[in-house]
């Protein structure tokens, strides 16, 4: 199984809502990533988990809160987002280190 | 942080032609990777070339790496309409985490 599964595929939320994005992989990868991508731009790294511990936070606002409950799951909790946070959110996993990453299909988030 | 920079930013070619994309980066690397992204979907890993390799092939893909010039190129031979996508290079060192360059948007016209 070489899939990274992200749910939901689409999400519309108001600025006062709380929602969560979920990501799951069963490849035994111990590094998991969240990226944010705006249209016609490259993915921007947000968070990296290595061995279930947060290893990199790229100065992401606190309204985004990551969580890695176990080695297969990665969540991104969203609260009080702004319209400019609307984007494609991508999850990826890999072996620890800069190696081939497997990406999910993303969650298209719209903040209204 | 390290970052690849691709050029050209956009490329249109006819089916059957070859497409070449370039990537430059700023600092030393352990390896360099190329990814493809179809519109609005996840990225797909294409090829990884290690810093001690100069050239690598995978099917219709050929990647070169010149560490002295801090640059890499991706060649797609005999392009097909299905190759239409954005292509990104990613650079990094072990223990750090990779970031993507701005990408090349390739259009292959039938």
Q: Given CB atoms, is A33 within the 8 Å cutoff of chain B? A: yes
Residue in B61, B68, B69 with CA at minimum distance from that of residue B87: B61
Facing residue for B88 by CB, picked from A42, A100, A108: A42
Neighbour count for residue B2 (Cβ, 10 Å): 20
Residue of A35 and B99 predicted with greater confidence: A35
Q: Report pLDDT for B25.
A: 87
Find the chain B residues whose C-beta atoms sit closer than 8 A to any C-beta of A: 30-31, 33, 35, 40-45, 48, 88, 92-103, 105
CB-CB neighbors (< 8 A) of B44 in chain A: 103
> How far is it, in rounded angstroms, from Cα B39 to Cα B103?
13
Residue in B32, B62, B37 with CA at minimum distance from that of residue B48: B32
Q: Given CB atoms, is A45 within the 8 Å cutoff of chain B? A: yes
Residue of B56 and B2 predicted with greater confidence: B56
Contact B45 A48 (CB under 8 A): no
> How far is it, in rounded angstroms, from Cα A87 to Cα A2?
25
Facing residue for A42 by CB, picked from B48, B96, B100: B100
Q: Report pLDDT for B8.
A: 80
Judged on CB neighbours under 10 Å (0-12, 13-18, 19+), B101 is buried
Q: Given CB atoms, is A66 within the 8 Å cutoff of chain B? A: no
In b/e form, how buried is each residue of A18-29, taking b as 16+ CB within 10 angstroms? ebebbbbbeeeb
Low pLDDT (below 70) residues in chain A: 1
Q: pLDDT at residue B86 above 80? A: yes
Q: List the single best residue of B23, B97, B103, B105 to mutate versus A (max A Cβ within 10 A).
A: B97
Neighbour count for residue A50 (Cβ, 10 Å): 17
Helix (H) or strand (E) holding A89: strand A87-94
Q: What is the mean pLDDT of chain B?
A: 89
> How far is it, in rounded angstroms, from Cα A50 to Cα B101?
23
The token pair that represents B61 in the structure block: 């893909």
């Amino acid at each position: 199984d070489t899939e990274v599964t992200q749910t939901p595929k689409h999400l519309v939320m108001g600025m006062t809502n709380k929602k969560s994005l979920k990501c799951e992989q069963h490849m035994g990868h111990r590094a998991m990533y969240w990226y944010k991508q705006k249209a016609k731009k490259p993915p921007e790294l947000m968070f990296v988990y290595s061995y279930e511990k947060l290893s990199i936070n790229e100065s992401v606002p606190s309204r985004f809160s990551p969580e890695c409950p176990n080695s297969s799951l990665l969540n991104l909790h969203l609260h009080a987002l702004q319209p400019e946070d609307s984007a494609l959110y991508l999850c990826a996993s890999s072996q620890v280190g800069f190696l081939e990453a497997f990406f999910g299909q993303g969650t298209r988030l719209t903040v209204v | 942080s390290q970052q690849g920079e691709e050029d050209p930013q956009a490329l249109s070619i006819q089916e059957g032609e070859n497409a070449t994309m370039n990537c430059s980066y700023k600092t030393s690397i352990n390896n360099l990777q190329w990814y493809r992204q179809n519109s609005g979907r996840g990225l797909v890993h294409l090829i990884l070339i290690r810093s001690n390799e100069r050239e690598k092939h995978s099917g219709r893909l050929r990647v070169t790496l010149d560490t002295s010039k801090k640059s890499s190129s991706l060649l797609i031979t005999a392009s097909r309409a299905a190759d239409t996508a954005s292509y990104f290079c990613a650079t990094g060192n072990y223990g750090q985490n990779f970031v993507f360059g701005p990408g090349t948007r390739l259009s292959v016209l039938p």
